[in-house]
Amino acid sequence: MQPTATAASSGTAAPAGTDRPITEGFGPPPPDEPVLEAVSPWWLSGTPLEAEHQRLMRRMQKPIPWAQSTAHLLTPPERARLAETWRRRSAAEYLAVSTFSVLCIDLVAAGAPADVLSHCVRAQLDEIRHAELAVRMVEIYGGKRIEPVAGMSSLPDDPKQPKLHQAVANTILVSCVSETYATTVLTATRDLTTDPVAHAVLTSIYSDEVMHARLGWSYLRWAIERDPDGVREAAAKMVPRALRGNANVIERERPIGEVTEAVRAHGLMTPAEERQIFSECVREVLVKGFEALGIDCGTAVEDYGDAWVAAA
């Protein structure tokens, strides 16, 4: 017979009144908490963990008007194009959970402050919710329940590099560049989206990406104050690598299907438009931000200028 797991049976002295089964406390939310439906209930574990998961998501989640989707007005090829786009997004968002997990390890190893760590952990929760949202969008457009592909992120790891410098470099890669660009492209995409569900989902994701980007820029400034020359040198080495990584994603082959006006209304841009947005983000946001902190960006503006945009 297996003993009931309790605070006391773990070998740790528990305060009076806390010797309770670990399953206690799971259940419906308190009456004063808003009740929001699970985004993709079929993707949950079917265990008591579901209730606490919903509480975690409810603290950040805003209602999505799922019933107002206009997906039924699209042609089959248009729905297929959007379904595949969101399937790829679901995989990227799911993988991003591990990306921020690895980054968090780097930050802890470098002695990052508590508020930096809490925001990095929160980003992992955000990415879980983003993956759930994307999975639901795949179902709306494609009519199929498709789980994200399992995977594990890896970030550059140089054992010879000081821990602070590695944490800074990977923060630039993950947060300063990738998440800052995400905010710019999501803003532009959301502005052309008229479908109520797609607009609400993109808005929800955008609001999180802003905080993810802020995490990187805040930590970078904090690190520079502690090791000005070393951090700026490590950052300057990572900037072109981070920019190229984002450019690779933008240059990647897209799902089959035309980006019609109807598809655009559901939040999809052409590759040429995305190149233009990235070029402007590099020139007007990223390079200016890095240079304001004394970080050399080399030929970044020229590398992603008009010639690169025209190559779409």
pLDDT at 42: 80
DSSP 202-240: HHHHHHHHHHHHHHHHHHHHHHHHHSHHHHHHHHHHHHH
Residue 32 lies in a domain: no
What is the arithmetic mean of pLDDT over 183-193?
A: 95
Distance of CA 156 to the CA centre of its chain: 19
Count of the separate structural domains present in the chain: 1
Mean pLDDT score, 23-43: 59
- H helical segments located in the chain: 49-58, 76-109, 114-142, 163-171, 180-192, 196-226, 228-251, 261-264, 271-281, 287-292, 300-303, 306-310
Q: How many Å from the N-terminal Cα to the C-terminal Cα in the chain?
A: 65
Structure tokens at 174: 């993950």
CA 253, CA 270: separation in Å to the nearest integer? 12
Q: What is the pLDDT of residue 61?
A: 64
CA 141, CA 76: separation in Å to the nearest integer? 9
pLDDT of residue 174 exceeding 70: yes
pLDDT in tens, 41-79: 888 878 877 887 877 776 666 789 999 999 999 999 999
Determine the pLDDT at residue 286: 97
Answer whether residue 48 is part of any domain. Answer: no
The letter for the amino acid at 151 is: G
Q: What distance in Å separates the CA atoms of residue 61 and residue 52, rounded to the nearest whole number?
A: 14
Domain that holds residue 92: 71-149+162-310
**Six token digits for residue 146:** 């498709």
Residue 34 has pLDDT above 60, yes or no: no
In a domain, 65, yes or no: no
Q: What is the pLDDT of residue 24?
A: 46
CB 132 within 8 A of CB 200: no
Q: For residue range 202-212, what is the model confidence (pLDDT) as tens digits?
A: 999 999 999 99
Find where tokens 């035309």 sit. Answer: 258
**Domain assignment present for 60:** no
Residue 10 has pLDDT above 90, yes or no: no
- Tell me: pLDDT of 39 over 50: yes
127 domain-assigned:
yes
In this structure, of 4-18, 31-45, 295-309, the range with the lowest mean pLDDT score is 4-18
Tens of pLDDT, residue by residue over 247-278, are 999 999 888 888 999 999 999 999 999 999 99
User: Is 245 within a domain?
Assistant: yes
Question: For residue 97, is it within any domain?
Answer: yes
Give the mean pLDDT of 236-243.
97
Separation of alpha carbons 108 and 170, rounded Å: 13
Q: And the tokens for 119?
A: 């925001």
Calculated CA dihedral for residues 19, 20, 22, 23, nearest 10 degrees: 180
Q: What is the mean pLDDT of the chain?
A: 88
Please tell me the distance from the alpha carbon of residue 71 to that of residue 79, in angstroms, as a whole number.
Answer: 7
Q: What integer pLDDT is reported at residue 253 of this predicted model?
A: 87
Could you tell me the CATH number of the domain that includes residue 172?
Answer: 1.20.1260.10
Give me the count of residues in the chain. Answer: 312
In a domain, 75, yes or no: yes
What would the two tokens of residue 233 be? Answer: 């040198």
At 37, is the pLDDT very low, low, confident or very high (cuts 50, 70, 90)? low
Question: Higher model confidence: residue 220 or residue 255?
Answer: 220
Confidence (pLDDT) at 30? 53
